[in-house]
Structure 1
C-alpha cells in the first residue's frame, strides 16, 4: 500500500480534531534562510469543545513490596460485575535458602483474583494448585459468562502436547468440565506458534519450514461445535513464503482476516472459518485500512473492533469500510505512555473504561513492581482548559514515556497553555521491519531511508507553516537545523540559565552557531576500554592509532563490529562538521580520504560470518566467545559504564572516541531533545514546556534510563544504582533475586568514586552525534564502487560530492 495515503489519513484525522476544538487560523510562508518568518496565530481552547475528565484508581495485589522481586497482573476480563486478574508473583528468596534441597517453586505464585470496581478482592484461587504438574495454564478468558482456561499438557515420553479448554470454578478453586480439546501434533518441519480464538473458533497456528528455504503455516481450526480441519497456506498460495501471521481479526460471523508478512511486505488474507477457504484481499480493497496497527486491536463486545493506541480509540467497521476516531486523547489529559499496557473494559458515547498492568521505567537491580490501574474517561459538559493557548507537539520517536508524563503534568499545572500531540510525524518502524532484509546493515539502511523521508516531509510542512510547534527527538536530523524551520534557543537558554547543568552538553548541541534543538537527556557515544589500553589523556583514535588498537589490543577484532558500509557511515557522521559546512559539501578533503582508505584496507566487507561483536564480547558460530579489550556503544550511560559491558573492571575503565582524522573524543548522543518551530504561534509557551522538562522532577525521571542534563539528578541516580548493585551483590545475587553468580567471575562492590569518574567523561565531551540521513544514504551508495575496486577514490568523491551538493542546494 502506498505510504502517502497513510500520511494523508493521519493529517486528515489531525485536522478533523483541530476543527472540532478551535477555529483553524494561521499563515503559510516560504523561508529565505534568514529566519525572518511569520508566526502562526495563537489559537485558544473553546468552552464548548469536546472534553473528557480522567479519573484513576489502583488495585492492590495484596503483597508487601519489601517481600517481592516482581508482581505482574494480567487483565482476563469483566466477570460477575468485577475485574478478573491473573496475578503472578516472584517472592524474594532468603539468603540462607537451601538450593540443593529447598523447594524453589514455593516462592512463586500464580493466582486468579476477582476484584470489585473499588479494588477490593471478592474471590481468589491458586491456579498453580488447580492443574497437574505436567501441565500449565497458558491463558484465561471470559466467554459467555464463564471463565475458561487454556491448559497445555504434555507427555514426558512422546513430548506431544494437548490443549484443553476447561471451565474455571472460582468458588471451589478448581478446573471443571472440558469444553474443547486440541491435539498439538507437530510435524518434523514445523512447530506450534500460538492460538487465536475468533468468534468461538479455536485456530492453532503451526510455523512450517519449506524445502526451498521459505516458510508457510498450517492452521488447525476447531469450530464451536467441535469439528476440526487443517488448512495450509501453501494450498491457497503455492510458492508464496509467509513468514509470520501476526494477528487474526474477526470481520464478521465466521469470517476473519489474517495479517501476514511475506517477501513483498504485509498481505491481508480473508479466511472463511467454516470452509477454510483463503483469499488474498486486493491491495486496492485495503487502502481504507492503511495506517491501522492491528497489533493494538481487540474486539469489544457491544462496540465492535477497536484499535487502542496513544492517539485514542478508533472503531474499525469492516462491513461499511469506515474508520472512526471515537475517543481522541487530545480531548483529555491522559498519560499516553501507559496506553500500550491497557485494555478496553467498556466504551460508550459518554464514557470509556480502560485498565492495565502498568510497569515503571526499568531500573537495574531494583524490584520490578507493577501497578494495576483502572482509568475512566467521562464526558464533561464544559472544557476546563477554556482560554488556554493550544500548542502542538510532535515526538519523532513516537512518544517518549518521560515526555508523555511531562505533558500531563504541564497541562495540569499551566494556566496559560495546553499541549496536544500530533502523531503524523514519526517513523513507521513496521515499514522498516518489512524492508530491512537479513542483517543489521540492511536495518540501518532502511532506518536512514525512513528518517530521510520524515525529515524531508517535516521540513516542507515547517516551511509552509503547517508543522508542529514543539519538535521532540529530532536532534539527529540536522536538515531541520535551519532558521527557516527552527527557532534559535540561545536567548531562551541564556535567560533561563545553566547553573547546575552540564553546560558543555548544550555547547555541543550548537549547529552553525545556533541552538536549534536542546538536549534534555543523553547518552555517550564512544568506545569503552581499560585505561591501560590507551595513552594517558587520549581522547580518541586517529586511524593509525585505531589500527594499532584493533591489532594489538583487541586481537584483531574490531570493537565496533561493523561491516564496511556501517563503519564508514558511523565514522563519517561523527565528523559531520567537517564534511558539511554552512550548506556546502566538503568531501574533497584529507579527512574523508583517510576514512575511506582505512575502511577499504582494514574493515571487512561485511560483518564476519563466523563471529559477531556485542557488548565487549566476540561470539562465534561454534558457541564459543571471548572478551574484548574494547566495546563500542552509542548509548553509554552510567549504568553501562559501571557494569562495563564486559570490558575491564570498575575504576579502570575509560571512554574514548571512535576513529577520526583528528582523534576527537567521545560524543553526546541526545536521547531526549526538544526544539521550537520557526512558525510556532507562541514560542514563549513552547519554551515554558521545554524549561519544565529541565526541572528537577522531570530530570530525575529521565535519569532512570539516560543521563539527565541536571547534574544533581545524574549524581543522585548514579548513587542509587551503586546502592542497588551493591545490595544485590551483598545478598549473593546478581541478575535477579535467587539467581546466584555460579561461574568464577569475582564481583566487586562498586565504589562511589565511579560517579565522579563518569562525570569527568561527560564533561570531556565537546561535540554531539549528528546525522543527515539523505547525505548518509548517498555516501553509502557511491562509496561501494571505491570499496570494491571499481572506481578510484577521486572518481568516487567527485560523484558523491556532486550528488550531496545537489541535495543541499535543493533545500535552499
Structure 2
C-alpha cells in the first residue's frame, strides 16, 4: 500500500526548486494563507484566477554535451556562475587539473570557462581536493586540501598486493584558501597549515565541505560535525561551536541569503518525538556568533532533514524553499508565503533558478547515452484567458495530494479538462501535533470528512474522490457516488472483462454496483510451513490448535505483542463492520476467541541487549532462524510482485502454504488497494474524471512512469493484461554479469543464498491464488478502530474480560454505524 496515502485515504487507520516571480505580490503570510484555505476548503481557484496568478512550464532549449552544473548562482550583473563536473584532481602540475567555474550568459547561450590559477602549494602536492565558492557579486574563492603521499605511490589500477591501509595512513594533508580576481588570477592565498587542532575528532582529511562567501574577503565553512569556521583574507580565523540541540537529526545546512549574509538551517525536536522544527539563524561574521532564529517552521510529522530545501532568495525573499508540493519564500521579518504550487504549473518539483522578466529556468539532465544533455525549461506567466475554454474537474484530498505528479501530467497532456484539488483537511494546531492517539486522529479525520459531507449535501460534491473503503461504502449507500459500471460498460479499454475479477468482486456493493476502482493492489496473507498446514485458508480453531500443538515453538508468542496480533486480526476481518447493512459483529463467539488468542502473546517484545556485541549478534541470529528452527509458526506476508516469495523461502527454509488470515468463510487472503477512486454521482464532467482514472490505471503497470510518485505501481496492476505481464516477468530478474553488463537471469541471491525464480507452473499457481482472493483488508474506519484498540487494551491489561470488551465494542460501534447511516 502506498505508505504516503494514509492521510489521503481518509480515515482508514491512525496508525529544483521552483520559483515564481520574486516580485509576485501574494501578501498573506504562508501560515495565514494556509489557514484561509482551511476555512474555505471547498473553494476552488477559478480558471481566471489561475491564469492571472500562476506559471506554466514550457520547453526552452536543449544544450547538448553539457557538463553537469552545480551551485548555479545568479549574479547581480545578470550572469550566472556555476561549478562543473570535476571537483577533485591528481597530478596537479598540469594545467588541465586547475579548478574552474562557468560564467553563463543570462539566456544560457554562452558558456565561458574560467580556469582558476593554482597556488604553488597545489603544484607541489601529490593530490588536491578543492571546494569552490562564489557569490552574487562575482567574488570567487577556493578551499584547497593538499595531499602528500610521502614516499609511497598508489598504483593506477587496483593491486591486491598493495598495502592500501598503510598508504592512506601515510598520507598527510595541509590546507589553504585562495581568493581570486574575477578573471581567475590569484588575489590572495592564505596558508592554513595542517589544521590538526581544529579538524574533526579522527583528524581525517577534509573530503566534504559546506562553504559560503558572504563578501569578497570572508569564507565560511562547515566541515566538522559541530564547528563553523570563518576565514578572512587577512588570515584571521575564528570558530563558532554549534549547540548540540541543533545536531540531533542531521548536519545543519549552510545557506546564503539574498542579503549576501551566511545563515544556518537546522532541524531540532518539536514538542513531541514524532515532530520536528526547522529553524534558520544568521551567522554573524563580525561578532563570530550565531544569532537567535529569525524563522521557525513546525512540522507535524517527523522530518529529520527539514520540510524544505532552500536556495538563495530574490526580491523580497531572503530564501526560497521547496518541497514536492510547493515553493515558498521567506522574508527577513521571519514571515513566509506560498509562491507556487507545482501542480498549478503542470509539473512536479524541479531544480530551478531565477531568470529575467520574472521568469525562471528549470533544469533537467538527460544522462542516457554517451553524450548527456541539459534540458532547459522555463516557468512563464500564464496569459490571461488562456484557460477560458477548459473545464475544471475537482478532486477531493485530505492534506497533500500524493498524486500531484499525475494531475500535472493529465493537465499538461490535454487541454479540455483541468484537475484541481480541494483540500478538506484541517490545519493542525501545536496541540494536535502533540496528540497522536488513535482517538484524536479519528476525531480529526471525522471532522474533515464532515466538511466533505457538507459540500456533498450542498450539491458541491467533488468530481473525483479518494476515500477509505468504509467511507466509499457509506457515500455509495447514500447515492453520492456514481456506479462506475455505467462508464465501464461503454468503454472498450477498461471494462468488466479487462479488470481483474477479484478486485471487482471485492469492491462491489451488495447491490452489484461499483462505487470505486483501484489502479493496483497487494495481497496480505499468513504463511506457515506446509508440514504444519497443508491447505490454503484455515479457520481460527485450526490456528489455535496448531499453536497448542506446537508447544516446543518457544518464540511463537514472543515475536509479536498482543496489540500487534490484534491489529492484524482486526484489519483482516472485513465482516466486523457492514456499513451497507448498518451492522457490526463484535460480540460473536469467534471474535471473542480471537481476543483471547491475542492475549496469549507477550505484552511487550523484548529486544536485543545492545550493551554486549556477542549477545546482540546472538539475539538476531536466533531471531533470523526462528522459522527454520520451528521456534515460530506464522509469518505475515505481502504479495506485491517481483520476488514475492523469495524471502519466505529463506525465512522458512522449506515449502510453505499461504494459509491466509483465519476466517470461517475460506477467504483468508486479503486484498489491499493502493487507492480507491470514485466519481461524484452528480458530476457534470464525469467523462473527464473517468479519463483521468483510466490514465492512472494504465500508468500503474509502468514502474518507470510511476518512479515513486504516488506509488500506484506498488503491487499488482488491476488491468488483466498488465497483471499477466507482471506475473510473467517474475520468471526472470535483472542482474549484472562478471563484466558488469545488465542481463536477464533466472537466479538471484538473498542474504548470500541463491534463489531460483519461479517456474511457469509456480507462477500459474501464484496467479490462481491472487485471483482467488476477493475480500478486502482495512474495511473499518478510524473511530471504530480507535474504540477497538481502547477496549482491547483494557482487556489485555486485566481491566475487563474478553466478553465484556467485545460487548463494549459492539455497543459503542453500533451507535457510530447507526449515526453514519
Q: TM-score, normalised by structure 2?
A: 0.68
- Cα distance per residue 1:345-391 (max 9 Å; x no partner): 2156642212245899xxxxxx9x99864331222435544312101
Give the alignment partner of residue 381 of structure 2, picking from 379, 382, 385.
379
Q: Secondary structure at the match of 1:689?
A: helix
Q: In structure 2, do the counterparts of structure 1 residues 374 and 784 end up closer, same or farther at CA, with 3 Å as the change threshold? A: same
- Structure with greater strand share of residues: 1
Q: In structure 2, do the counterparts of structure 1 residues 755 and 221 end up closer, same or farther at CA, with 3 Å as the change threshold? A: same
Match of 1:307 in 2: 321
Match of 2:770 in 1: 762
Match of 1:594 in 2: 593
Match of 2:561 in 1: 563
Match of 2:164 in 1: none
Superposition deviation, residue 494 in structure 1: 3.9
- Higher RCO (Cα < 8 Å, 6 or more apart): 2
Q: Secondary structure at the match of 1:460?
A: helix
Q: In structure 2, do the counterparts of structure 1 residues 808 and 710 end up closer, same or farther at CA, with 3 Å as the change threshold? A: same
- What does residue range 723-734 of structure 1 map to in structure 2 within 5 Å? 723-725=732-734, 727-728=735-736
Q: Secondary structure at the match of 1:314?
A: strand
Query: Which one has a bigger Cα radius of gyration?
Result: 2
- What does residue range 242-391 of structure 1 map to in structure 2 within 5 Å? 254=261, 256=263, 258-262=265-269, 264=271, 265-267=275-277, 271-274=281-284, 275=287, 294-301=307-314, 304=317, 305-319=319-333, 322-332=335-345, 334-336=346-348, 339=349, 342-347=350-355, 350-356=358-364, 373-391=375-393
Q: In structure 2, do the counterparts of structure 1 residues 539 and 169 end up closer, same or farther at CA, with 3 Å as the change threshold? A: farther
Match of 2:505 in 1: 507
Say whether the 8 Å CA contact 2:565–2:598 is kept in structure 1: yes
Match of 1:18 in 2: 45
Say whether the 8 Å CA contact 2:56–2:382 is kept in structure 1: yes
RMSD over equivalenced CA pairs, Å: 5.8
Tell me, in whole angstroms, the C-alpha distance in 2 between the residues paired with 1:385 and 1:130. Answer: 61
Superposition deviation, residue 796 in structure 1: 2.4
Match of 2:678 in 1: 675
Tell me, in whole angstroms, the C-alpha distance in 2 between the residues paired with 1:133 and 1:203. Answer: 24
Superposition deviation, residue 308 in structure 1: 2.6
Give the alignment partner of residue 230 of structure 1, picking from 219, 240, 258.
240
Superposition deviation, residue 679 in structure 1: 5.8
Q: Secondary structure at the match of 2:644?
A: helix
Tell me, in whole angstroms, the C-alpha distance in 1 between the residues paired with 2:445 and 2:362. Answer: 32
Superposition deviation, residue 811 in structure 1: 3.9
Give the alignment partner of residue 799 of structure 2, picking from 757, 769, 790.
790
Instruction: Give the gaps of 5 or more residues in structure 2.
Output: 1-29, 88-98, 116-121, 149-167, 611-615, 707-711
Say whether the 8 Å CA contact 1:508–1:766 is kept in structure 2: yes
Q: In structure 2, do the counterparts of structure 1 residues 697 and 330 end up closer, same or farther at CA, with 3 Å as the change threshold? A: closer
Q: Is the aligned partner of 1:492 residue 2:487?
A: yes
Tell me, in whole angstroms, the C-alpha distance in 1 between the residues paired with 2:84 and 2:514. Answer: 50
Number of aligned pairs? 709
Q: In structure 2, do the counterparts of structure 1 residues 462 and 221 end up closer, same or farther at CA, with 3 Å as the change threshold? A: farther
Q: TM-score, normalised by structure 1?
A: 0.69
Say whether the 8 Å CA contact 1:396–1:473 is kept in structure 2: no
Match of 2:695 in 1: 692
Q: In structure 2, do the counterparts of structure 1 residues 671 and 278 end up closer, same or farther at CA, with 3 Å as the change threshold? A: same
Tell me, in whole angstroms, the C-alpha distance in 1 between the residues paired with 2:509 and 2:176. Answer: 63
Tell me, in whole angstroms, the C-alpha distance in 2 between the residues paired with 1:180 and 1:471. Answer: 63
Superposition deviation, residue 637 in structure 1: 1.4
- Cα distance per residue 1:4-29 (max 9 Å; x no partner): 9785244479889715626xxxxxxx
Superposition deviation, residue 290 in structure 1: 9.8
Say whether the 8 Å CA contact 2:461–2:680 is kept in structure 1: yes
Tell me, in whole angstroms, the C-alpha distance in 1 between the residues paired with 2:559 and 2:774. Answer: 25
Tell me, in whole angstroms, the C-alpha distance in 2 between the residues paired with 1:253 and 1:165. Answer: 20
Superposition deviation, residue 696 in structure 1: 7.0
Q: In structure 2, do the counterparts of structure 1 residues 358 and 720 end up closer, same or farther at CA, with 3 Å as the change threshold? A: farther
Tell me, in whole angstroms, the C-alpha distance in 1 between the residues paired with 2:525 and 2:793. Answer: 25
Q: Secondary structure at the match of 2:607?
A: coil
Match of 1:461 in 2: 452
Q: Is the aligned partner of 1:666 residue 2:666?
A: no
Q: Secondary structure at the match of 2:687?
A: helix
Say whether the 8 Å CA contact 2:558–2:605 is kept in structure 1: no
Q: In structure 2, do the counterparts of structure 1 residues 374 and 480 end up closer, same or farther at CA, with 3 Å as the change threshold? A: farther
Give the alignment partner of residue 202 of structure 1, picking from 220, 235, 251.
220
Q: Is the aligned partner of 1:410 residue 2:410?
A: yes
Superposition deviation, residue 456 in structure 1: 3.6
Match of 1:799 in 2: 808
Q: Is the aligned partner of 1:52 residue 2:56?
A: yes
Say whether the 8 Å CA contact 1:422–1:468 is kept in structure 2: no
Q: In structure 2, do the counterparts of structure 1 residues 521 and 279 end up closer, same or farther at CA, with 3 Å as the change threshold? A: same
Match of 2:8 in 1: none
Match of 1:626 in 2: 624
